[in-house]
Chain A
Amino acid sequence: MTLLDLNKGEKAIISDIETEKLPFKLIEMGCLPGNEIELIQLAPFNDPMYLSVNGCRLSIRRDTAQYISICK
């Protein structure tokens, strides 16, 4: 399951990330395995996604979100 499967308002734990494809900036903001991630809001067409992770709120595009695996 990846971040794309998360519904609005849901929380999950990051289980794995594709280190090579994920922007390093996102990793440094705390997108690391074991951290909790919440989907706060989706823009129309579900893109970009507004997330809260590691106490930090940010938005990323769907093509980035596919590299983050989660378990609910």
Chain B
Amino acid sequence: MSKSINVALIGNPNTGKSSVFNDLTGLNQKVGNYPGITVEKKEGLCNLERGFKAHILDLPGTYSLNASSLDESVVIELLLNKNDKDFPNVVAVVSDVENLKRNLLLFTQIKDLGLPCILIINMSDMMKRKGISINVEVLEKQLNSKVVLYSSRNKKGIKDLKECLINYRSISKEACLSFKEIDEGYFLNLSKVFPNQNIYKLWLVITQDVNFGNVKRNDFNLTKDIETKSSSELKRLQQKETIKRYQFINSVLKLSYNVDKEKATDLGSKLDRILIHRFWGYAIFFTILLGIFQVIFDWSSLPMDFIDESFSKISSLIKETLPAGLFTDLLSEGIIPGIGGIVIFIPQIAFLFLFISIFEETGYMSRVVFLMDRTMRRFGLSGKSIVPLASGAACAIPAIMATRNIENWKQRLITILVVPFVTCSARLPVYLIMISLVIPDDRIFGINVQGLTLMGLYLIGFGAALLSAFILSKTLKIYSKSFFVVEMPNYKVPLFRNVVFTIFEKTKTFVVEAGKVILAISIILWALASFGYGEKFSNPEKFIVEEEYQNMDDFEKEILSFKLENSFLGNIGKAIEPVIQPIGYDWKIGIAVLSSFAAREVFVGTLSTIYSVDGDSEETIKSRMLNEKDENGNPVFNLASGISLMLFYAFALQCMSTLAIVKKETNSWKWPSYQFIIMGAIAYLVSLLAYQTLI
């Protein structure tokens, strides 16, 4: 007898399925993707008693086996494919004590597939407050199965559940529903043609639009013995099946489940009255949003500065201690800053997912969707797009990761594609220095023009996101079943453990997936800037005369600047000069724009290297930039080139971390490349227009 048991955790969304999973597996879990699709695959190991081990697969939340989204089709594909290595020995169906009736629909479906099923009634700690009483023995007898009263909050039922899992072989596999009652002729015939197959399984294969491993749909159309039904007839039969299931469930619950409304407290309705109020609902939501934005922006800056400083300290420490050479340079100028560029995003990602998981856990997210759906729909988005769009103002990376809540693939894709337009915090240093350089510190009607410009840039970003979403929704030819049925779950106090797990998971995904690309490109950029060909790069001392400089420091800086000019990166900058001249940039700005791919804020640092000024101090670099003249003696940074530069940063997708995460979330390089090219083209055209009209 095998001591290893395959367990599938299945359940409706909002039943606390992930809490059960976390209880069982603890840190013994692994999160990945199903091959070829971006549906999260969570699995873990659990030690049962007496040497038994369970491999637990946490399947995506689903309301029924009639799949209406990619997530749900994962569940049914697994259950219909006996050859899948994850095919379960036993299914644990997680249900919510307050929504037992609806949750049992899924339970009866899975049981009808002939699998041993355990019913976990979660959140049993709520029973008293809601006036619910359950007779477990009667329920077990009626369902012909095992029932576990469970509470993640009070750590109740875990032991019972483990015991049930060990003894799964004793659980009856008998079906709940008799299909003959639905359409006798049709189903009798079906079982005659396929005598060895489970009838409900056949029925699912006929009605579902999914690819299955073992039974091909075509087999049915080829068989003449089976009457083929039109899709509307099939849907009628499915409806009849659902009615039969509810009849069964009602008869079961009548004997075993009782709600005493007198004893129930209904805090939820009171909360709903405020939280989705036509005025207060929005006021509260935008206040919360503003708060979150502030926190992501403010609280993150402290750890981010710390990370920034630590990594530059490590870099200089390496430079001082290791012998000078290529390897030391690679380490201190390529790899360490590259890793720093990844780690620096962690605080923002962690904070954003702290709030998002609290939104999800409490049930508030559904209310936000309810409030925002109508407005967002006008732009081809979903109510669920509001959170990613707003978080984009902090950073596009966690924002794109947050789009996973949007079930509709088209709306999710559009959200992913437009989020990078929203002004992220990395653009801010570039905007600030450019504004102070080219926008006069005047007032119009008492309003500071510089502040107005900054606000304008934010509005441009948000407007571009909404406008392009609108265009994309009209042009993208993606068929994705679109209907809007959102459950409004009961309000709950979030479980700390679940919140921590979500933050940990999301951060890990980012570090591992996007990290690889960021590190690679950082090293490439470093190599381009540190290597070159020709006499000018290898022997700069021949061209820069030491005696012309007052001290060694200035001389060395000039050498560095000269080497950068003649490096591959410098050569590339010069090569693209004809292209960027029409929008008002010289090759130096070109290099700064190119190196911004590591992170936009690098712009300022690169300029200070090129202009060989001391450190990153904003004042020195600013005065140096003001004095920068072109061949004709005109300032390089004027109103026209300044505006052009800001608009370029507003529209262009020059952030490889974003590209990496889009690749990860869309599972191909197709969308990030489109995004990169189209956003780049828009940026170029807008900057061109601005520069040419202003100059």
Q: Which of B101, B238, B276 contacts A41 (CB 8 A)?
A: B276
Judged by a CB distance under 8 angstroms, whether B68 is at the interface is yes
Q: Shortest beta-carbon distance, A11 to chain B, in Å? A: 14
Q: Chain B residue with minimal CB distance to A23?
A: B483
User: Which A residues from 30 to 68 make CB contacts under 8 A with B?
Assistant: 30, 32, 40-41, 43-45, 47-48, 50, 54-61, 64
Contact bitstring B236-255, A, C-beta under 8 A = 1, else 0: 10110011001000000000
Q: Which residues of A contact B142 (CB under 8 A)?
A: none
Q: Are A44 and B370 in contact (CB under 8 A)?
A: no
Q: Which residues of B contact A56 (CB under 8 A)?
A: 99, 101-102, 487
Q: Are A29 and B246 in contact (CB under 8 A)?
A: no
Q: Are B276 and A43 in contact (CB under 8 A)?
A: yes
Q: Are A25 and B485 in contact (CB under 8 A)?
A: yes
Q: Shortest beta-carbon distance, A13 to chain B, in Å? A: 15
Q: What are 25 A-B pairs at a CB distance below 8 A?
A: A19-B236, A20-B235, A24-B235, A24-B238, A25-B66, A27-B238, A27-B239, A28-B63, A29-B487, A43-B276, A43-B371, A44-B278, A47-B374, A48-B373, A50-B370, A50-B488, A55-B101, A55-B102, A56-B487, A57-B489, A57-B490, A58-B487, A59-B369, A59-B373, A59-B488
Q: Are B487 and A45 in contact (CB under 8 A)?
A: no
Q: Which of A29, A32, A50, A64 contacts B483 (CB 8 A)?
A: A64
Judged by a CB distance under 8 angstroms, whether B86 is at the interface is no
C-alpha spacing A30/B239, complex, angstroms: 10
Judged by a CB distance under 8 angstroms, whether B232 is at the interface is yes
Judged by a CB distance under 8 angstroms, whether B486 is at the interface is yes
Judged by a CB distance under 8 angstroms, whether A26 is at the interface is yes
Q: Which residues of B contact A29 (CB under 8 A)?
A: 63, 102, 485, 487
Q: Are A59 and B486 in contact (CB under 8 A)?
A: yes
Q: Chain A residue with minimal CB distance to B483?
A: A23
Q: Are B487 and A61 in contact (CB under 8 A)?
A: no
Q: Kindly name the residue among B63, B374, B485, B487 whose own CB sees the greatest number of chain A CB atoms within 10 A.
A: B485
Q: Which of B68, B276, B370, B374 contacts A45 (CB 8 A)?
A: B374
Q: Which residues of A contact B235 (CB under 8 A)?
A: 19-20, 24
Q: How many A-B residue pairs have CB under 8 A?
A: 99
- Chain A's interface size range is 20 to 34
C-alpha spacing A54/B104, complex, angstroms: 13
Contact bitstring B485-499, A, C-beta under 8 A = 1, else 0: 111111000000000
C-alpha spacing A32/B371, complex, angstroms: 26
Q: Are B99 and A64 in contact (CB under 8 A)?
A: no
Q: Are A61 and B102 in contact (CB under 8 A)?
A: no
Judged by a CB distance under 8 angstroms, whether B22 is at the interface is no
C-alpha spacing A48/B235, complex, angstroms: 25
C-alpha spacing A38/B68, complex, angstroms: 25
Q: Are A59 and B102 in contact (CB under 8 A)?
A: no
Judged by a CB distance under 8 angstroms, whether B272 is at the interface is yes
Q: Which of B105, B374, B487 contacts A48 (CB 8 A)?
A: B374
Query: 6 shortest A-B CB distances, which residue pairs?
Result: A23-B483, A57-B488, A28-B64, A61-B484, A59-B370, A59-B486
C-alpha spacing A36/B369, complex, angstroms: 25
Q: Chain A residue with minimal CB distance to B66?
A: A24
Q: Chain A residue with minimal CB distance to B243?
A: A32
Q: Shortest beta-carbon distance, B551 to chain A, in Å? A: 68
Q: Which residues of A contact B239 (CB under 8 A)?
A: 19, 24, 27, 32
Judged by a CB distance under 8 angstroms, whether B366 is at the interface is yes
C-alpha spacing A59/B371, complex, angstroms: 10
Q: Shortest beta-carbon distance, A69 to chain B, in Å? A: 15
Q: Shortest beta-carbon distance, A35 to chain B, in Å? A: 9
C-alpha spacing A32/B101, complex, angstroms: 14
Q: Are A58 and B374 in contact (CB under 8 A)?
A: no
Q: Which residues of B contact A24 (CB under 8 A)?
A: 66, 68, 235, 238-239
Q: Shortest beta-carbon distance, A55 to chain B, in Å? A: 6
C-alpha spacing A46/B43, complex, angstroms: 42
Q: Are A43 and B102 in contact (CB under 8 A)?
A: no
Q: Chain A residue with minimal CB distance to B490?
A: A57
Contact bitstring B269-283, A, C-beta under 8 A = 1, else 0: 100100010100000
